Structure 1
């Protein structure tokens, strides 16, 4: 039960909305009458109240076992008290996609083709619950109540680790092994949106969850991160050796079909022209072959794609 002094989030959100209108009005008056010191004192008082309400909102959500976070925007996407609708829509979508993709690696496994399961999408959902001044501020919260840290909070912790890497390719690649190529591409899209929009992002400015720190991503840093991910996001080639039957060989297209003896799994792929004669000799015979598997991410299909090629014939 909430005591009289412990207000529910909806009441705090309502006051925040009313306060935002007062702050905008005060800022407009200061622009009109810049020499009036009383207006500046009044604005400072309103902003102090806003800081208090944001802290109260965080605590109120915590009582409902919901995690809350705030994000502040600056740059070309801001015009006085407003923000580009296109940008905030794209940002919200990109942030949710990063969180949902990383959630896949937390709940199940980091890389899955096709759509992410509905239960993971639901568990990772975040809601926009408030806006505030401070250039332009949004407050988001986990959709589902949960004992302990929510899935969005755990995902954002991984995002924090990525932002800590800045444009260090070695560190980015290390984290990429755990969260998967899909998450890396989603993170790259988020950074691309920030730098291409000439925006600046401050994460966890007034609402700082336990274990988090305020983080700032400038336009230049977002650009450098975006470039770094583009250079390291593709998964390293993997090599696997199987015994089986080479059931198909096409020396014109340099493609093959191979059936693994142990599992009857069919592998289709390509080979270099230097292996064409050897592949023809081994058609319809049992062979041990080392394959090279290269994995890339298809942005259109939103899934990983693996390409198999013959590395060499072992026997």
Structure 2
């Protein structure tokens, strides 16, 4: 049983106890002030439980992140403004980029749509001592999701923490960042460079009540330096656009993914492409399921220093073929 359900259960149990006391004292015909003393104590308990329930309800409507900074030569609870702005600003940029990849498209071209920026903005809700702790909230925005059961902000932070968990290993970073696009690679490289230059260790703690468990990621200047070198010197990402004619054999609305079959030019070999589909393309794409069509695709290739490639495809648009 989660915290929210447990609190509701305790409130209901308190109501049951109050009703039983009222009934018992009524049967015994005792003075009202006797029952009021006991009931008033239970009502105070109920008020405290309802206050906790309200806080828990609000917590379940957002993702919470604690950013703990360890600035040198400063007392607990103090942090340079420049350091705070650089750390939180870089984190917001990364969140914006991952949100754009998952909810729109992964290209580093063009601005990120305003609705995505507004729907995925971290809000500083509290600061605490203990080095310096900034508490951030990211409200759930179901208007950006594809289904009411899907919380996009949880998915976004999950992808972000998968990137952070890749640490400074080149192959691990290649696996994760290849699907997040060139903009995310650029922003992560810039942020790791700032963390190195600021010389301030930080902890990121995803403390949301709905997350599987608290996830803490630690960055120190040395780790940030290693991540920056991998992203700047060993990984490369580039984009290409293609228009292909073939058959759309699969569209998954929940995961925003597609499957497309086509024949290679000059050969009889059939190829299949799997990838992510842009949100505004999903509805029209469903009408072309298992039909011949023409698709506009973005191909993102990420290479490691060893020559290993990871390719991510993004379906931008789907139309009737120019010829049958």
TM-score by length of 2: 0.53
1:87 equivalent in alignment to 2:88: no
Q: Residues 7, 186 of structure 1: CA spacing in aligned structure 2 closer, same or farther, 3 A cutoff?
A: farther
Q: Structure 1: which 5+ runs fail to align?
A: 10-55, 243-292, 297-315
**Equivalent runs, 1:48-127 vs 2, <5 Å:** 59-63=56-60, 65-76=61-72, 78-127=74-123
Counterpart of 2:236 in 1: which secondary structure? coil
Aligned counterparts of 2:206 and 2:243: Cα–Cα separation in 1: 51
Greater displacement, 207-216 / 170-179: 207-216
Alignment partners' CA distance in 2, 1:232 and 1:152? 30
- 8 Å contact 1:202–1:214 — kept in the other structure? yes
Which of 220, 223, 230 is equivalent to 1:221?
A: 223
The residue that corresponds to 1:161 in the other structure is 162
Partners of 2:140 and 2:152 within 8 A in 1? no
**Alpha-carbon spacing, 1:141–1:206, altered in 2? closer, same or farther (3 Å):** closer
Distance verdict in 2 for CA 1:105–1:206, change over 3 Å: closer
- TM-score (structure 1 length as normaliser): 0.54
How many positions carry a matched residue from both structures?
A: 198
Q: Distance between the aligned counterparts of 1:204 and 1:117, measured in 2?
A: 28
Output the aligned Cα RMSD.
3.5
Q: Secondary structure at the match of 1:83?
A: coil
Question: Judging changes above 3 Å, is the alpha-carbon distance between structure 1 residues 188 and 7 closer, same or farther for their aligned structure 2 residues?
Answer: farther
Shift of 1:172: 1.1
Residues 167 and 77 (structure 1 numbering): CA distance in 2 closer, same or farther, change over 3 Å? farther
Within a 5 Å distance, the mapping from 1:1-315 to structure 2 comes to 4=47, 5-7=49-51, 59-63=56-60, 65-76=61-72, 78-146=74-142, 150-204=151-205, 210-212=211-213, 213-235=215-237
Q: Unaligned stretches of 5+ in structure 2?
A: 1-7, 12-45, 143-147, 245-298, 303-324
Q: Report SS of the residue matched to 1:187.
A: helix
Q: 1:195 offset after TM fit, Å? A: 1.5
